[in-house]
């Protein structure tokens, strides 16, 4: 699976290592870190990242603002300022180069994930709207993060058996027999999943087609469990599975 590649421009080694570790936990590829303007340009030419995490304070005469100007002029890539500076002067300078997000250190894994996903999504959508050539998009992810209490848990589609709607919540049933309750409607949650792999079979249930074992007139079995098939969903289910 092709991954979104994140370039790192950061001259503090400890922080750079933290960023690398966080990106790996989130499932991103990465390159760098570059510690200066010159190294950042070399990384852009050699490694061709899809998005840049960019510190404003860098080693050398030119800083992250200079790198951002070069990005806008030559590379046309989305970038996120990741910096300890939040004073008015620095923010005014940053605004002039139109960053796609601005994160003040220290940051959390969830903040970084949200900033990357939104920045890349908005950037690619804007290029499409403006008629520019759309860059090759990374392959669909095979996982997503869901909030489980105070923790964001990584759930792979290969371990997600089926969804069960509970009013304004969705109960995720996993192959491990663990269940996770997520605040969402089942329709909204399914929009985050791999298209075609998960199919609605009932107003309360959607299943991972990879785990369907048997289909009966009014129900089906998934990993040894029987789930009902709603009359209005049966035809679409059979069509999606290639059963005529």
Based on the fold, state whether residues 17 and 52 are members of the same structural domain: yes
Burial of 8 (0-12, 13-18, 19+ CB in 10 A): buried
48 found inside a domain? yes
Residue 160 sits in a domain whose CATH number is 2.40.50.1020
Question: Mind listing the pLDDT tens digit for each residue in 195-239?
Answer: 788 999 999 999 999 999 999 999 999 989 999 999 999 998 998
Question: Mind listing the pLDDT tens digit for each residue in 147-202?
Answer: 877 778 889 999 999 999 998 899 999 999 999 999 888 988 888 888 788 999 99
- If you average pLDDT over residues 101-118, what whole number do you get? 90
- If you average pLDDT over residues 97-110, what whole number do you get? 90
Alpha-helical segments (H) within 50-184: 64-70, 88-95, 109-129
Q: Looking at per-residue confidence, does 1 or 139 come out higher?
A: 139
What total number of domains does the chain contain? 2
How far apart, in Å, do the first and last CA atoms of the chain sit?
Answer: 32
Q: Which of 98, 129, 160 is the last residue of a domain?
A: 129
What does R_g of the chain's alpha carbons equal in angstroms? 22
Q: Which of 107, 129, 151 is the last residue of a domain?
A: 129
- If you average pLDDT over residues 8-18, what whole number do you get? 93
pLDDT the model gives residue 236: 87
Based on the fold, state whether residues 77 and 124 are members of the same structural domain: yes
Based on the fold, state whether residues 106 and 174 are members of the same structural domain: no
Based on the fold, state whether residues 124 and 191 are members of the same structural domain: no
- 21 near 48, Cβ under 8 Å? no
- Dist. CA 47–CA 78, nearest whole Å: 15
Burial of 219 (0-12, 13-18, 19+ CB in 10 A): middle
Based on the fold, state whether residues 111 and 35 are members of the same structural domain: yes
Based on the fold, state whether residues 110 and 10 are members of the same structural domain: yes
Based on the fold, state whether residues 147 and 205 are members of the same structural domain: yes
Q: Could you list the residue range(s) of the whole structural domain that residue 51 is in?
A: 5-129
13 found inside a domain? yes
β strands within the chain, DSSP E? 5-9, 29-34, 51-54, 79-83, 101-104, 143-148, 151-156, 160-166, 169-174, 179-183, 198-200, 205-208, 212-215, 219-222, 225-228
- State the DSSP code for 113: H
Based on the fold, state whether residues 125 and 147 are members of the same structural domain: no
Based on the fold, state whether residues 148 and 85 are members of the same structural domain: no
183 found inside a domain? yes
pLDDT the model gives residue 1: 35
pLDDT the model gives residue 168: 85
pLDDT the model gives residue 242: 84
pLDDT at residue 133 greater than cutoff 70: no
Q: Is the bond leading into 202 cis (omega within 30 degrees of zero)? A: no
134 found inside a domain? no
pLDDT the model gives residue 244: 63
229 found inside a domain? yes
Residues near 56 by beta carbon (within 8 Å), at least 6 away in sequence: 63, 64, 65, 81, 83, 85, 90, 93, 94
Q: Share the mean pLDDT of the chain.
A: 88
Residue with tokens 């400890």: 14
Based on the fold, state whether residues 84 and 121 are members of the same structural domain: yes
135 found inside a domain? no
Backbone angles phi, psi at 127, to 5 degrees: -65, -40
């Amino acid at each position: 699976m092709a991954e979104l590649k994140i370039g790192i421009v950061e001259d503090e080694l400890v922080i750079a290592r933290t960023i690398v570790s966080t990106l790996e936990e989130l499932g991103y590829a990465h390159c760098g870190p570059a510690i200066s303007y010159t190294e950042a340009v070399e990384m852009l030419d050699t490694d061709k990242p899809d998005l840049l995490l960019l510190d404003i304070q860098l080693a050398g005469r030119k800083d992250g603002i200079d790198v951002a100007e070069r990005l806008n002029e030559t590379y046309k890539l989305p970038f996120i300022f990741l910096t300890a500076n939040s004073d008015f002067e620095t923010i005014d300078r940053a605004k002039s180069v139109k960053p796609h997000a601005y994160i003040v250190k220290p940051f959390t894994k969830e903040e970084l994930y949200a900033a990357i996903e939104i920045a890349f999504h908005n950037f690619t959508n804007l290029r499409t709207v403006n008629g520019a050539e759309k860059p090759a998009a990374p392959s669909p992810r095979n996982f997503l993060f869901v909030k489980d209490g105070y923790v964001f848990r990584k759930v792979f589609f290969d371990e997600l058996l089926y969804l069960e709607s509970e009013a304004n919540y969705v109960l995720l049933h996993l192959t491990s027999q663990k269940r996770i309750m997520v605040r969402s409607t089942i329709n909204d949650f399914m929009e985050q999943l791999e298209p075609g792999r998960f199919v609605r079979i009932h107003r309360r249930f959607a299943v991972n087609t990879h785990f369907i074992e048997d289909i009966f007139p009014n129900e089906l079995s998934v990993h040894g469990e029987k789930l009902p098939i709603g009359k209005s969903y049966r035809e679409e289910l059979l069509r999606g599975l290639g059963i005529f």
